[in-house]
Amino acid sequence: MLGIVRMLDKHRQDIEEFDRRNPSSKSGKKECSRCGFCCWRRPCDLDEEDVVRIAEYLQIDVKSLFKKFLVVDEYNGYLVVKPRRIYQEGGVYLTPAQTFETEPCIFMVEVQGNACAIHSCKPRVAKEHECWVPRILRILKPQEWTREKLMELGWDGIQREDDEE
Ligand code: SF4
Ligand code: SF4
C-alpha cells in the first residue's frame, strides 16, 4: 500500500514538474512554439504507419530505418518504438531510464529553432501533442507494438535491465 502511495506521489510530482518547465504552458500559449522541449525530454512513440511513412520519406526500407534511427522502449509495461537519442545505438531495446531526458531525439536539428528533420511526415503523436494542456488532463495512450511486429522490423528480442548498462 505504501508503495502505491509513493508511486502516485512520484507521478504527481512528475506531472507538476513537466507543467512547470513546459514553455507553452508557462507562457499561456495554446499552440506549439517549436521550442523542442518535448523532443529533448522523450522522443515520440511511433505507430506502424509512422514507421512506413518515415521510411518512405527518408527513402530507405523499414528495417534500415529501425536499425539506423529507432529503438524499442517500454512505457507502462507496453513495448513501444521511438527515434533513438543522438548518441545511442539504433535497432536495440533501451530501458526507459536510458531514453528519458538524456539527449535530444536523432531527428532534432537546431535550425529555425529546435526543428524536427522529419517535420513534413512527423509522427502522429507529435501532431496531436498539446503541451499547453495540463498533462493530468491528457490521455497518454502508448502506441503498443507486439514482439512479433518488432522482430519483423529486425529487433533481436533482447530486453535488458537498467543495471545492465
Ligand atoms: S509541443 Fe513540444 S515543441 Fe511544441 S511548444 Fe510544446 S514542448 Fe515545445
Ligand atoms: S520525431 Fe520529430 S517531433 Fe518527434 S521527438 Fe523527434 S524531433 Fe521531436
Domain boundaries, the chain: 43-157
Distance of CA 156 from the midpoint of ligand 1 (Å): 33
In this structure, which ligand is nearest to the CA of 33?
1
Q: Are 126 and 120 in contact (CB under 8 A)?
A: no
For 87, other C-beta atoms within 10 Å of its C-beta total 9
Query: Binning pLDDT at 50, 70 and 90, where does residue 76 land?
Result: confident
Residue type (1 letter), 146: T
In this structure, which ligand is nearest to the CA of 40?
2
Closest CA to 108 of 50, 42, 49, 58: 42
Q: Are 22 and 130 in contact (CB under 8 A)?
A: no
Structure confidence by residue, pLDDT tens digits, 99-155: 766 678 999 887 766 788 998 998 998 888 887 776 666 666 778 999 999 999 999
**pLDDT at residue 25 above 90?**
no
- In angstroms, the CA 82 to CA 90 distance is 10
**Average pLDDT of the residues in 86-100:** 85
- For the CA of 132, the nearest atom of ligand 1: 6
Residues with CB under 6 A from ligand 2: 39, 43-44, 83, 105, 107-108, 116, 118, 122-123, 126
| Residue bearing the bigger pLDDT, 164 or 73 | 73
**pLDDT at residue 164 above 70?**
no
Distance of CA 121 from the midpoint of ligand 1 (Å): 17
- For the CA of 34, the nearest atom of ligand 1: 3
Structure confidence by residue, pLDDT tens digits, 36-62: 888 888 889 999 999 999 999 999 999
Tell how strand 108-109 and strand 115-116 pair up.
antiparallel
Task: Give the DSSP letter of residue 162.
Answer: G
| Residue bearing the bigger pLDDT, 76 or 3 | 76
- In angstroms, the CA 70 to CA 62 distance is 10
**Average pLDDT of the residues in 18-37:** 68
Cell of 70: 529507432
Cell of 84: 533513438
Identify which of 41, 107, 119, 121 to mutate to test ligand 2's pocket (most ligand atoms within 8 A of the CB): 107
pLDDT, position 17: 59
- For the CA of 108, the nearest atom of ligand 2: 7
Q: Name the H helices within the chain.
A: 2-21, 23-27, 37-41, 48-58, 62-69, 96-99, 124-128, 147-153
44 touches ligand 1 (CB under 6 Å): no
* 19-23, 31-35, 100-104, 134-138 — most confident range: 31-35
For 157, other C-beta atoms within 10 Å of its C-beta total 10
